[in-house]
């Protein structure tokens, strides 16, 4: 069974410890439980461990790292396509898969 970890009881995301395509993920940490993954998520990426409404905080390690730019369901991948970073104002212009900038033309 794929695993993810959640450090702080205030967190609403967990970090994947394994690649997973779908199915049940074991959340390790303070509030250990299982959730159903709704889409493929790679090792090191975040998943929502509860529903997060658009505009609400995304909390990891007890720290607000961003805001949901759309509604996120428990078990969904949390990344640039649905999370606006509070630390990088350019995060909305980065490629979802690679993280490369898309607003600068290089010749």
Helix (H, G, I), strand (E, B) or coil at 27: strand
Is pLDDT above 90 for 105?
no
CA–CA gap between residue 77 and residue 64 (Å, rounded)? 17
What 8-state DSSP symbol labels residue 66?
Answer: E
Residue 11 counted as domain residue: yes
Contact (CB, 8 A) for 62 and 8: yes
Domain annotation covers residue 103: no
Q: Per the domain annotation, does 62 fall within a domain?
A: yes
Whether 43 maps to a domain, the answer reads yes
Range with the lowest mean pLDDT among 60-64, 78-82, 90-94?
Answer: 90-94
- What does the pLDDT look like over 19-49, one tens digit per residue? 999 899 999 998 789 999 999 999 999 999 9
Q: Which residue has the higher pLDDT, 3 or 86?
A: 3
| Count of the separate structural domains present in the chain | 1
8 Å CB contact between 51 and 74: yes
CATH number at residue 89: 2.30.130.110
Evaluate whether 25 touches 2 at the Cβ level (below 8 Å): yes
Q: Is residue 87 part of a domain?
A: yes
Q: What is the pLDDT of residue 97?
A: 62
- Condensed to tens digits (0 to 9), the pLDDT of residues 53-77 reads 999 999 999 999 899 999 999 999 9
Q: Is residue 29 part of a domain?
A: yes
Pairing of strands 83-85, 63-68: antiparallel
41 is written with which tokens? 């998520």
Q: How far apart are CA 68 and CA 10, in angstroms?
A: 16
Q: Which domain holds residue 36?
A: 3-93
50 falls within a domain: yes
Would you say residue 100 lies in a domain?
no
């Amino acid at each position: 069974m794929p695993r993810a970890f959640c450090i702080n009881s205030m967190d609403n995301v967990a970090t994947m410890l394994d690649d997973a395509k779908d199915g049940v993920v074991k959340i390790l940490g303070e509030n250990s439980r299982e959730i159903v993954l709704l889409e493929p998520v790679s090792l090191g990426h975040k998943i929502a461990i509860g529903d997060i409404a658009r505009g609400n905080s995304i909390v990891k390690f007890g720290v607000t790292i961003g805001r949901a730019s759309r509604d996120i369901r428990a078990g969904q991948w949390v990344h640039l396509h649905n999370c606006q970073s509070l630390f990088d104002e350019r995060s909305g212009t980065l490629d979802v898969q690679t993280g490369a900038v898309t607003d600068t033309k290089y010749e």
